[in-house]
Chain A
Amino acid sequence: MKNIKFLILGIFFAIVLSKTQAISWYRFYEMFKFQSFHMFGIIGGAVVISAVFMQLFKSGKIKDINGNKIVPKPKKKGFISTVFGGTLFGLGWGISGACAAPIFVIFGFQLIPALILLFGALLGAFFYGLISKRLPN
């Protein structure tokens, strides 16, 4: 069970998202309406500090637990896929107030309706898999 550390990290990440209210529907509504700095501060702060970590990974100053160089996977390129795919995701995020990780956290809040959301997300991913070859990049 060497991967048990990911379970603990998942618990930690969920607590961080919960305690900072970054799983609250209202917080995302506020963010997309530009009525509060809270979520911009959280995401912006996470990006800036992560960028420092990325530089330490890149320079090789920090290696992973097995001593390997840490290289983030390059994201697939494509204008339509990123902008249009991103817009579709943004629509779902804006309406439900949930992005990918929070769906699971919200389920942990004992909200059975989150299961409908998760079921929809799995159907969506399945549908994407079926037609991915025919979609423009």
Chain B
Amino acid sequence: MDFILQPWAWFIGGPLIAVSLFLYFYFGQNFGASTNFETLCTMAGAGKVSDYFKKDWKQRDFALLFVIGLIIGGFISATYLIPNTNIDLNPKTVQELTNLGFSNVGNQYFPDEIFGNDVIFSLKGFLILLISGLLIGFGTRYAGGCTSGHAITGLSSLQLPSLLAVIGFFIGGIIATWFVIPLIF
């Protein structure tokens, strides 16, 4: 039981993610997460506006169940499995973020400055999340995948487009953390 409640090391996480991928394929489907954004658009009626979304979402009911599982799994983890939300960050990271004005660095999973409930009522906080979301939705669909579909499935099956996409992910992520975050905080 103690093991369940402790944070899991990287050498446990990597293999367990690979097991998830294995089961997804074993169950007869292609592992990935970002196609669900399109499926949810189709369910919301986007097919009336664009032929791109004229698809039968019922063929992807397995993926929607996976998404519901992700939400339930997040709830279970937050409620029962993480009694201690401290994160063993590099002291340099803590110092940097504290200097940028972040509070409680290393004591929680998500910064209040981005995921605190009061950001909903601040224009800046709202826009940070909305624009990040837009970039995630547009970018993953344009690139044809996310971390699951490209970085893990695509790289492990030795696909060149995935290598290019992952290079793109890092270009974007580095610009965001090195330049955009210091600019907006």
Contact = CB atoms under 8 A, between A and B. Distances in A.
Contact of A75 (B18, B28, B144): B144
Nearest to B106: A26
A97 B114 contact: yes
Contact of B129 (A22, A57, A120): A120
Chain B contact residues: helix, strand, loop or mixed: helix
A81 interface: yes
Contact of A129 (B53, B105, B167, B174): B53
A13 B16 CA distance: 8
Interface residues of B, number: 130
Interface string A95-130: 111111101111111111110111111111111111
B79 to A, nearest CB: 8
B149 to A, nearest CB: 8
Given A42-B17, A101-B70, A120-B132, A130 B50 contact: yes
B171 A87 contact: yes
B114 A50 contact: no
A116 B126 contact: yes
A131 to B, nearest CB: 9
A83 to B, nearest CB: 4
